[in-house]
Amino acid sequence: MLIPLVSFLLGFVLLGLSFLSYTNHPSLKRFPSVYQLTIQPLLMAGISCIAITLMLGMVGYFGYIAATPLRTIRIALGIIGIFLLSISFLRKINFKMNRQLNLLNPPGNHLLSMGSVVKITMVLTILSTLVLTSIFLISFFDANYGGDAFMYHIPFAARIWGIISPEQFTFEKNIEHRFLGFPLLANWLQGFFWNTFQRPEATNLLCYFSLLTFIAYLTFYIKIPFYLASLSLLAIPMVHMHAARSYIDLPGNVCISILILTTYFLYTNKVKFNKQTAIIIFISSATAANMKFQLIPVVFLILCFILPKIILPLWKAYRHDQDRLTKLSKTLFVCFLASFIIFLTPIKNTIIYANPFYPVKVEIAGIVLNHNEAPPDFMHENIRKLPRHLRWGRSVLEIDVFDSRRPWPWTLGMDFISWDEERFGLGGYFGGYVIFNLLLFVYLCWQNFDLESRVAAIIMGLMTLFTPLLPQAYELRYYMYWMMVFVSLNCYLTCRLAKQKPSQKLINPRNLGLVAAVFMVIFITKTRYFFTIPEFASFDEQVKRTDIIDQDILRSIKDGEKVCIVGKAPHPFLYTSYFHPPYEYSVKAEFDVPEFVEEGCKGRRILR
């Protein structure tokens, strides 16, 4: 009841605001930013469509309209609303660009240069909007593909929100321990989308909205043009692929990227440590650390760099020692409380399981902590013998990483081959795009090696030194923040150079957007549009596929029966009765390991 009620109230407020704007109500003049809506009919129409979409949730809750047609109506209204908002947004960008160009261009050759720039930037803006819209359709309508999502991300989301009970589906022994110890914030959010839209495909929306969050951060906080922020990120294969899938690597890395870039602006004195900055740091830190174990050391290290930027200004601001100590004590106490929330998962695991990274094996000073599984150790011999930085460098530059057995050059986990093969997990950043950004970064720093360039170089140096030392760093999807921060810094420095040197004809945001668009199009065509254009293949269609589910096993399960499905990883979750109504039965999944089967499948009929 809570979610439909909140949606209804929010929709009611938005619809009321649109009505007052449409009638040009005098009360709105007290709020200039809101009053501007009265001259933007497309924006009002878009907000109204989204408001009605939100309000219709209450209609569905009381059952006034059947679920299927109501869902179709809400989806249609939502898409129309987003489309109208996008058109309004594009018009506003076009107006701003025209006004800026009118100021920058001399009267003589004003029209020709203005027209060409506006046309190109508008084309890039429309292209990025279309690609993002298409990826949204994938995230909402297409079922997920990928082993990790089926094996534990989506099942965790279903368990957390009570969508599928433990009686309906029980994890494998090792996966059950992961549910007890792993950070679960990302899975909670996935479950929120599933529960809100009543469709498992909606778990993809977490990654999609995390990408939009980062684009919004770059556009509104760093002032990078929308088209440049979007295209520069979508040209990174790992970001593009993960943007519409139910893996949880992208959301955590978006938070890390925001945290690093905010730290960058603190050290370049572009922003001060105030409430807004503190909120950004806290939310990004807490979200990243409670999404993936691999990101906890990264969060801790970044916060160590941020702490001096909090403490030193306070120390300088107060002359008397007593005032300093009082203020510092209060600040440190708040930092301590914030750290408790940020590192909640490892603190909880330490208290309950005596291992901050439970269930993963951790050894400290020769003491092995309580655990249930060993860290992954499936590296090929040729990869293992390389020093960490060379191993990571080979993966980043994509040196001998492609394999013809994969359906596309790039995949979510650079997998589709055996775990112990040499090319498994390598690549994902587009080696040519990495080299281009490296050359561009060197040029931008050489053009103006001031404080901002020096701090950017230091950050890239520290990231390049530290990231390869992290577990499984050569599997680039775990630490996408490196490439995301890299292209973001290049975008920022390029925009800065264009302002400092307006006569610069080669290196400018428009040309950088064109280059990013070229790399993005190459990726799209090489992957045969699979990650960009929706197939509208739902979960219902997926559970009927014989290459994923053994239909003979499925037909053999009787209503009310308790079964143990063995050796079907990563897809045993799809055998649950939730996906096969009207039957009701209990499924226990287990790996095909004799001792696991003997212990976990007691009292159940074993199906292989």
- 382 token code pair: 């040729």
**Residue whose token pair is 């321990």:** 177
Residues of the chain with pLDDT under 70: 1-2, 22-40, 68-69, 72, 83, 86-118, 318-321, 504
DSSP code of residue 320: S
C-alpha 244/C-alpha 202 separation (Å) is: 10
Q: Is 405 helix (H, G, I), strand (E, B) or coil?
A: coil
Phi (first) and psi of residue 450, to 5 degrees: -95, -165
Q: What is the mean pLDDT of the chain?
A: 87
**Residue whose token pair is 């009267």:** 107
| DSSP H or E run through 154 | helix 154-160
Phi (first) and psi of residue 586, to 5 degrees: -110, 130
CA torsion sign, 509 to 512 to 518 to 521?
negative
According to the 3-state scheme, what is the secondary structure of 176-199?
HHHHHHCCCHHHHHHHHHHHHHCC
C-alpha 579/C-alpha 162 separation (Å) is: 15
- Helix 344-353 to helix 275-289 angle (10° resolution) is 40
**Which amino acid, residue 7?**
S
pLDDT, residue 221, reads 93
pLDDT, residue 329, reads 85
**Residue whose token pair is 């009970």:** 165
Q: Which of 218, 212, 226 is nearest to 97 (CA)?
A: 226
Question: Would you say how long the chain is, in residues?
Answer: 608
Q: Which residues contact 250 (CB under 8 A, 6 or more apart)?
A: 207, 210, 211, 239, 242, 243, 480
Whether the CB-CB separation of 492 and 445 falls below 8 Å is answered with: no
C-alpha 259/C-alpha 280 separation (Å) is: 8
Whether the CB-CB separation of 590 and 596 falls below 8 Å is answered with: yes
CA torsion sign, 185 to 186 to 191 to 192?
positive
pLDDT, residue 344, reads 96
Whether the bond between 200 and the residue before it is cis, its omega within 30 degrees of 0, is: no
- Cβ burial 477-505 (10 Å sphere, 16+ → b, else e): bbbbbbbbbbbbbbbbbbbbbbeeeeeee
**Residue whose token pair is 């053999």:** 556
Measure CA of the first residue to CA of the last residue in the chain; give whole Å: 41
**Which amino acid, residue 76?**
A
| DSSP H or E run through 586 | strand 586-590
pLDDT, residue 112, reads 45
**Residue whose token pair is 């690093």:** 260
pLDDT, residue 532, reads 95
Q: Which residues contact 162 (CB under 8 A, 6 or more apart)?
A: none
pLDDT, residue 185, reads 97
pLDDT, residue 25, reads 65
pLDDT, residue 482, reads 98
Strands 363-364 and 367-368: antiparallel
Q: Is 37 helix (H, G, I), strand (E, B) or coil?
A: helix
CB atoms within 10 A of CB 426: 24
H helix intervals, 354-500: 381-384, 388-397, 431-447, 451-466, 481-500
**Which amino acid, residue 259?**
L
pLDDT, residue 113, reads 52
Whether the bond between 502 and the residue before it is cis, its omega within 30 degrees of 0, is: no
Phi (first) and psi of residue 182, to 5 degrees: -65, 150
**Which amino acid, residue 38?**
T
